[in-house]
């Protein structure tokens, strides 16, 4: 569902890209489906996957070279989906956003997150910086519903006194695919 009353995309920008950070351990059909649907619904020129080298909440992640190689291979025949590495070991708004704005001048960003991450935006350090002029695409995961995301957005906006521009991306066929489940099956 598109929240046109909450979303104001700046048409003056020359490029519109999605920024999709994550561990991608491993990349799977759900990641790709979310990226493609976001590209379509948000009218993006490209989506860049940003595999995080040392994700702080996943200390046992597969090494970055293996994950990036698998990600590049998975995206190799899909128009508009690419890998970008900003050069940070761990991503943060204060460190990574300036690298993105420097690499992609005159570009409007749509930050892509799963619904689990969207619920915790209030806890992100420097979130107010990210919200200035950037949009969000929220991919529903697991049992999360559109109503859950609406409630989270409303609470966030009230606490932060900031407007949150977002679109909820539905993909029922891949909603329950997760890297955690894939790793669990693989490691048995």
H/E segment holding residue 65? helix 64-75
| Structural domains of the chain, ranges and CATH numbers in brackets | 15-186 (3.40.50.620)
pLDDT tens digits along 27-37:
999 999 999 99
Q: What Å distances lie between residue 54 and 65, 117, 118, 169, CA to CA?
A: 11, 17, 21, 27
- pLDDT of 99 above 70: yes
The pLDDT confidence band at residue 2, using thresholds 50, 70 and 90, is very low
pLDDT tens digits along 154-164:
998 888 888 88
Report the number of secondary-structure helices (H) and strands (E) in the chain: 7, 6
pLDDT tens digits along 139-152:
998 888 999 999 99
pLDDT tens digits along 10-57:
444 579 999 999 999 999 999 999 999 999 999 999 999 999 999 988
């Amino acid at each position: 569902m598109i929240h046109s009353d909450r979303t104001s995309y700046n048409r003056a920008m020359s490029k519109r890209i999605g920024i999709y950070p994550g561990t991608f351990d491993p990349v799977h059909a759900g990641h790709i489906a979310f990226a493609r649907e976001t590209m379509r619904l948000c009218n993006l020129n490209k989506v860049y996957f940003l595999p995080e080298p040392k994700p702080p909440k996943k200390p046992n992640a597969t090494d970055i070279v293996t994950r990036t190689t698998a990600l590049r291979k998975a995206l190799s025949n899909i128009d508009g989906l690419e890998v970008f590495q900003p050069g940070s070991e761990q991503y943060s708004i204060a460190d990574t956003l300036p690298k993105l704005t420097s690499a992609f001048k005159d570009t409007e960003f749509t930050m892509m997150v799963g619904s689990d991450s969207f619920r915790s935006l209030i806890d992100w350090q420097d979130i107010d910086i990210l919200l200035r002029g950037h949009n969000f695409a929220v991919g529903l995961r697991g049992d999360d519903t559109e109503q859950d995301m609406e409630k989270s957005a409303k609470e966030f906006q009230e606490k932060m006194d900031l407007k949150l521009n977002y679109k909820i991306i539905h993909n029922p066929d891949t909603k329950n695919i997760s890297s955690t489940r894939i790793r669990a099956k693989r490691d048995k």
